[in-house]
C-alpha cells in the first residue's frame, strides 16, 4: 500500500496537527546505519530523536551503544530515567547541573562531559571547589575535525574546538591528568563538513563536484590527523572511546582504525536535508500532518500551522517539505506560515477541508519541539503513542 493511504488510515481517529513515526521506516533506517557501521558500535545522538521511548526502542536494537546527549540537564534526566553511558558532546556552562552531577554517584559513573580547553577545567573546578568528597568527573576531549586548506584561507566544518593538532591535544590531556578530580576517558572529533553536508545538492552539479573534492581531501587529512591525535593522547591516558562522524559519514568514519565508535541520530528519522547524499538513501520516518482549513482559490489550499523552520543557515531547504500528496509547493510570498500555510499545485485541486497534508521536517529532532506526542505507525495501524521530550515537559534547547 502507498504511504499516504496507510498513514491516513492509521491516524483516521486523530485530528491534525500531529506527528507520526513510521516504525517500519525507522527499523529499515536503523538497519542501514548498522550495515554502514560495519561492526563498530553507533552512539545515538539524542538531539536528533528527542523522545525517551523512541531512544529506548533504538537502543534495544543490535548495533547501538550509548547516547550522545546535547545538554547536561538532559543527560542527568536520562540517567535518572535509567539510561547508561551518556556522553554530553558539547561543553556545559550550567553551574547547577554541574553541581547536581557531582552530587549523584550514578550520574558521575554514567555521564561524560566534553571539554576543549583549560578554561573549561577552570570552570568545572570553580563549581566543584566546595564539593567534599569530590567525585572524579569523566571527561571527553573535543578535537577540531574541520578541513583547512590554502594556508588557512579556506575552512569547512563546524567552528568548535580550538584543539586541532596532536601536540595541542596532548597538552590538554596532560593538563587534565595534572588536576585531581578529572579522568580523561574519551576523544571526540566530529567532521561536520562530511557528516552533515550532502554531496548531492539539488540542481547544482558544480557545487556537488566541489563538495565531493573537499570531502575526499578532508577524509584523507582526518585519517592521518585523527590517528596522530589518538596516539598522542593515548600515551597519557587509557581512552575508552574515540567518537567521530555522523549520519552522513558513517561508512567513511568507521574505516579509520583510530575511531572506536561512530555517532548517528538524523539517519533514524531521515529528514529532508538527508536526501542530498549520494552514499546512502533512507526512508522518511518522521512526518507531521496538517489539516486543510481553507481553499482560497482553485489549485490552492491553506493548512493550519507549518512554520517549523530548521536551525542552520536560513534558506528554502530549511523549510519543511510538503511531502504527501506529492506536488505541492509554498506560495513564494508566504513560505511556511506561523498559523496558516497556503500550498499551491495540481494536488491541491483534489484536497478538501479537513484532509491532511503530510510534511517532513528539514532536520530530525527539532520536529519533537513542536509536538508533545509521536504516534507510532506499523503498516496501516497506529500501535502506540509516545511522548516527545516536550511531551514530558522537557525542553532543553
Residues within the interface to ligand PLP (CB under 6 A): 45, 48, 68, 89, 190, 195-196, 246-247, 263-267, 364
Residue 374: strand, helix, or coil: strand
Q: Are 308 and 367 in contact (CB under 8 A)?
A: yes
Nearer to ligand PLP among residue 36 and residue 375 (C-beta): 36
Nearer to ligand PLP among residue 250 and residue 348 (C-beta): 250
What is the nearest approach in angstroms of ligand PLP to the Cβ of residue 175?
22
What is the nearest approach in angstroms of ligand PLP to the Cβ of residue 147?
16
Nearer to ligand PLP among residue 254 and residue 343 (C-beta): 254
Nearer to ligand PLP among residue 51 and residue 266 (C-beta): 266
What torsion do the CA atoms of 380, 381, 384, 385 make, to the nearest 10 degrees?
60
Separation between Cα atoms, residue 363 and residue 265, nearest integer Å = 10
Q: Are 173 and 179 in contact (CB under 8 A)?
A: no
What is the nearest approach in angstroms of ligand PLP to the Cβ of residue 212?
19
What is the nearest approach in angstroms of ligand PLP to the Cβ of residue 70?
8
What is the nearest approach in angstroms of ligand PLP to the Cβ of residue 149?
22
Burial class (CB in 10 A: 0-12, 13-18, 19+), 350: exposed
Nearer to ligand PLP among residue 117 and residue 340 (C-beta): 117
What is the nearest approach in angstroms of ligand PLP to the Cβ of residue 221?
18
Q: Residue 313 has which C-alpha cell? A: 543557515
What is the nearest approach in angstroms of ligand PLP to the Cβ of residue 33?
9
Separation between Cα atoms, residue 90 and residue 72, nearest integer Å = 9
C-alpha 143: how far from chain center: 18
Separation between Cα atoms, residue 153 and residue 344, nearest integer Å = 43
What is the nearest approach in angstroms of ligand PLP to the Cβ of residue 243?
7
Nearer to ligand PLP among residue 328 and residue 364 (C-beta): 364
Nearer to ligand PLP among residue 260 and residue 266 (C-beta): 266
Q: Which residue is nearest to ligand PLP (CB)?
A: 246
Q: Region of 327 please: left (phi>0), alpha (psi -120 to 50) or beta.
A: left
Nearer to ligand PLP among residue 267 and residue 391 (C-beta): 267
What is the nearest approach in angstroms of ligand PLP to the Cβ of residue 10?
26
Query: Helices (H), strands (E): how many in the chain?
Result: 12, 19
Q: Are 144 and 164 in contact (CB under 8 A)?
A: yes
- 287 secondary structure, DSSP code: E
Give the H/E segment covering residue 290: strand 286-297
Q: Residue 130 has which C-alpha cell? A: 566546595
Q: Residue 260 has which C-alpha cell? A: 572506536
∠ CA(336), CA(284), CA(384), 5° rounding?
100
Burial class (CB in 10 A: 0-12, 13-18, 19+), 159: exposed
Nearer to ligand PLP among residue 284 and residue 322 (C-beta): 284
Amino acid at each position: 500500500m502507498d504511504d499516504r493511504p496507510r498513514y491516513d488510515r492509521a491516524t483516521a481517529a486523530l485530528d491534525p496537527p500531529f506527528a507520526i513515526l513510521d516504525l517500519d521506516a525507522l527499523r529499515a533506517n536503523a538497519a542501514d546505519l548498522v550495515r554502514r557501521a560495519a561492526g563498530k558500535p553507533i552512539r545515538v545522538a539524542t538531539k536528533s530523536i528527542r523522545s525517551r521511548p523512541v531512544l529506548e526502542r533504538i537502543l534495544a536494537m543490535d548495533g547501538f551503544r550509548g547516547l550522545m546527549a546535547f545538554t547536561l540537564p538532559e543527560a542527568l534526566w536520562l540517567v535518572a530515567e535509567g539510561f547508561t553511558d551518556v556522553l554530553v558532546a558539547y561543553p556545559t556552562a550550567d553551574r547547577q547541573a554541574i553541581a547536581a552531577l557531582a552530587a549523584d554517584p550514578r550520574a558521575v559513573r554514567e555521564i561524560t562531559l566534553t571539554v576543549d580547553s583549560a578554561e573549561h577545567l577552570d570552570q568545572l573546578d570553580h563549581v566543584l571547589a566546595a564539593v567534599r568528597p569530590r567525585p572524579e568527573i569523566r571527561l571527553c576531549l573535543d578535537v577540531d575535525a574541520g578541513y583547512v586548506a590554502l594556508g588557512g584561507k579556506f575552512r569547512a566544518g563546524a567552528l568548535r574546538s580550538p584543539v586541532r593538532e596532536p601536540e595541542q591535544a596532548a597538552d590538554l590531556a596532560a593538563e587534565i591528568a595534572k588536576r585531581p578530580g578529572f579522568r580523561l576517558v574519551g576523544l571526540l572529533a566530529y567532521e561536520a563538513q562530511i557528516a552533515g553536508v550532502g554531496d548531492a545538492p539539488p540542481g547544482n552539479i558544480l557545487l556537488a563536484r566541489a563538495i565531493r573534492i573537499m570531502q575526499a581531501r578532508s577524509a584523507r587529512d582526518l585519517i592521518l590527523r585523527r590517528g596522530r591525535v589518538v596516539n598522542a593522547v593515548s600515551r597519557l591516558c587509557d581512552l575508552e572511546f574515540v567518537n567521530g562522524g555522523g549520519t552522513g559519514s558513517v561508512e567513511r568514519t568507521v574505516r579509520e582504525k583510530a575511531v572506536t565508535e561512530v555517532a548517528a541520530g538524523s539517519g533514524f528519522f531521515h529528514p529532508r536535508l538527508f536526501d542530498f547524499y549520494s552514499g546512502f538513501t533512507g526512508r522518511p520516518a518522521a512526518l507531521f500532518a496538517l489539516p486543510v482549513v481553507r481553499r482560497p482559490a482553485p489549485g490552492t489550499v491553506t493548512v493550519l500551522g507549518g512554520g517549523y523552520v530548521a536551525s542552520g543557515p536560513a534558506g528554502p531547504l530549511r523549510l519543511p517539505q510538503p511531502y504527501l500528496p506529492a506536488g505541492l509547493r509554498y506560495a513564494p510570498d508566504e513560505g511556511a506560515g506561523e498559523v496558516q500555510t497556503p500550498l499551491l499545485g495540481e494536488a491541491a485541486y483534489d484536497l478538501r477541508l479537513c484532509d491532511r497534508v503530510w510534511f517532513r521536517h528539514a532536520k530530525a529532532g527539532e520536529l519533537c519541539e513542536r509536538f508533545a506526542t509521536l504516534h507510532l505507525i506499523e503498516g496501516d495501524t497506529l500501535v502506540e503513542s509516545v511522548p516527545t521530550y516536550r511531551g514530558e515537559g522537557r525542553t532543553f534547547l
